[in-house]
Structure 1
Amino acid sequence: MSGIRPSFGIGDVMALRSQVLSRSAALRDVHAASEGARAFAPAQTPGAGFAATLNTALQQVSAVQEHSSAMQVAYERGTVTDIAQVMLARQEAGVAFEATLQVRNKLLTAYQDIMRMGG
C-alpha cells in the first residue's frame, strides 16, 4: 500500500490546540458575563409579588440585550475579534426576547380569558 499521509505536522496540531483553547476560554468568558447579567431563577422573598418577579425578569432580559449590543459595538470597533462571542451574545438576546414575548402572549391570553369569565 502506498499509504497517503496527510501533511499535518506537530506545529499544525499545536496551532489547532491553541485555537480550541482560546475559543473555549472566550466561551467561558461570555458565559460568565451572561450569568452575571442574568439569573433566570430570581430569588424571591416571601412577600415578593408577581409584579416584582415580572419586573426583575424583564430587567434581566434587558441586561442580556444590552450586553449583546455592547459586544456588537466592541466587535465593530475591533476590541473584540472573536465573532463567535458576538454571535453567542446575539443568540442569547434573541432567545431571551422570544421567551419574554411568549410569556407576554400567555399572560395576555390568560387576562382575556379572565375578563370573558366575569360577564
Structure 2
Amino acid sequence: MKTGGIDSSRIEAMIAQLKAAATRPQERIAVLPGAQAVKAEAPAAKVNFSDALKGAIDSVNGSVHKSEEMGKKFAMGDDSVALSDVMIAMQKASINFQASIQVRNKLVASYHEIMNMQV
C-alpha cells in the first residue's frame, strides 16, 4: 500500500531489519580460512528510545531550518548559494519530514493496536 508517496511495506521491511540486527547475537568472525578468529565489536551502548526519537526529530528540524536559511539567502541575492543547492536542500527537508510523518503514523497505529488488545 502506498501512503503519501512512501510504500508502507518498505517501512515495515526496514523495521524488521532493524529488529533483526538488534537481536542478533554477537559472535566470533573468522577473517580468512585458517586465520585466527577475531571477536566482533562490543555491542553498542543501549539507546533510550526517547533520546533516539528526539535526535531524529532534531535532525529533521535542522534540515528544515537549513533549507529555509538557504532559501532566504538565495532570495536576498547571495551569490554563494545556487538555486540547485536550495532546491536539493528543500527536497531533502521534505523527504525527511514525510518519513517522520510515516514513522509517527506507524507508532500511532501500533499504539492503537496495543490498546485494543484484550488482556
Q: Give TM-score, length-normalised by structure 1.
A: 0.59
Looking at secondary structure, tell me which structure has more helix per residue.
1
- Letter of the 2:101 counterpart: L
Give the alignment's Cα RMSD to 1 decimal. 1.7
Q: Gaps (5+ residues) in structure 1?
A: 1-44
Q: CA deviation at 1:82?
A: 1.7
- Larger-gyration structure (1/2): 1
Give the whole-Å Cα distance in 2 for the aligned partners of 1:69 and 1:103. Answer: 23
* Larger RCO: 1 or 2 (CA < 8 Å, sep 6+): 1
Give the whole-Å Cα distance in 2 for the aligned partners of 1:78 and 1:117. Answer: 58
Residue 56 (structure 2) aligns with? 57
Q: CA deviation at 1:118?
A: 4.3
* Percent identity over paired residues: 32
Listed as ranges, the matches of 1:70-81 within 5 Å are: 70-79=69-78, 80-81=80-81
> Does residue 89 in structure 1 map to residue 89 in structure 2?
yes
Listed as ranges, the matches of 1:1-119 within 5 Å are: 46-79=45-78, 80-118=80-118
Cα–Cα, structure 1 residues 64 and 81, in superposed 2: closer, same or farther, change >3 Å? closer
Q: Give TM-score, length-normalised by structure 2.
A: 0.59
Give the whole-Å Cα distance in 2 for the aligned partners of 1:107 and 1:61. Answer: 17
Give the whole-Å Cα distance in 1 for the aligned partners of 2:51 and 2:116. Answer: 26
Q: CA deviation at 1:109?
A: 0.2
Equivalences, count: 76
